[in-house]
């Protein structure tokens, strides 16, 4: 199956690359208002770092660093964050997902900006956690199934 790579060049490079790639994922998430990207792309980049770790260091790294129940909870929490943002807008006197009605002391355009950031975080959580979850099961050992 997916075993640890023998080359020290590969393992060292991946160990160094993964934190940078995760930082880039967060940048794509919070900078989606101004540049290409957003929650979906950020989620995939974050999930890809775990895939990369498993490809270079062997699938055991997933056992040590990833908890499937936690991923499940995060995937659901992303959708919940999205829905809650919509519901809070209703509580603030607007329509569902009308971020201008979010009860924050900001002008309407800034409140919409904040609402977009909140739901992009939700999308990123769901996408990242779902992809990691699928990869954990795909990469599982045959005998451990």
Partner 1 sequence: MSEAAVAGLLVLLVLLALIAVRAADLLLAVVALGGYSFAMALVWAAIGAVDVAFTEAVVGAGVTMVFMLAALLRTSRRRSPVAVGIQQVALPVVLVVGFLLVALTTALPPWADPAAPAAVHVSPRYLERAVAETATPNVVTAVLADYRGYDTLIETVVILTAGLGCWLLLGRRTP
Using CB under 8 A as the binding rule, whether residue 94 contacts partner 1 is answered as no
- The minimum distance between CB 62 and partner 1, in angstroms, equals 12
Comparing CB distances to partner 1, the nearer of 61 and 120 is 120
Looking at the DSSP bridge assignments, the partners of residue 4 are 57
Ramachandran region, residue 104 (left: φ > 0; alpha: ψ -120 to 50; beta: rest) = beta
Residues 43, 123: contact at Cβ < 8 Å? yes
Using CB under 8 A as the binding rule, whether residue 66 contacts partner 1 is answered as no
- The minimum distance between CB 33 and partner 1, in angstroms, equals 4
Using CB under 8 A as the binding rule, whether residue 53 contacts partner 1 is answered as no
Using CB under 8 A as the binding rule, whether residue 20 contacts partner 1 is answered as no
- The minimum distance between CB 114 and partner 1, in angstroms, equals 9
Which tokens belong to 16? 């160094």
Using CB under 8 A as the binding rule, whether residue 57 contacts partner 1 is answered as no
- Phi and psi, residue 4, nearest 5°: -65, 135
Of 17, 30, 66, 76, the one binding partner 1 by CB under 8 A: 76
Question: How far is residue 90's CA from residue 115's CA, in Å, rounded to a whole number?
Answer: 13
Residues 99, 85: contact at Cβ < 8 Å? yes
Angle between helices 108-138 and 39-57 (to 10 degrees): 30
Using CB under 8 A as the binding rule, whether residue 61 contacts partner 1 is answered as no
83 three-class SS: helix
Q: What residues make contact with partner 1 under the rule CB under 8 A?
A: 1-2, 28, 32-41, 44-45, 47-48, 51, 55, 72, 75-76, 78-79, 82-83, 86, 97, 99, 108-110, 112-113, 115-116, 119-120, 122-123, 126-127, 130-131, 133-135, 137-140, 142, 145
């Amino acid at each position: 199956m997916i075993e640890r790579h023998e080359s020290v060049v590969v393992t060292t490079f991946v160990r160094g690359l993964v934190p940078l790639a995760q930082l880039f994922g967060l940048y794509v998430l919070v900078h989606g208002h101004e540049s290409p990207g957003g929650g979906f792309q950020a989620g995939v980049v974050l999930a890809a770092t775990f895939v990369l770790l498993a490809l270079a260091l062997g699938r055991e790294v997933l056992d040590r660093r990833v908890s499937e129940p936690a991923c499940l909870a995060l995937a659901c929490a992303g959708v919940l964050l999205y829905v809650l943002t919509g519901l809070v807008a209703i509580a603030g006197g607007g329509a569902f997902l009308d971020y201008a009605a979010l009860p924050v002391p900001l002008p309407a355009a800034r409140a919409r900006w904040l609402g977009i950031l909140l739901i992009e975080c939700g999308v990123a959580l769901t996408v990242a956690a779902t992809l990691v979850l699928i990869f954990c099961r795909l990469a599982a050992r045959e005998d451990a199934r």
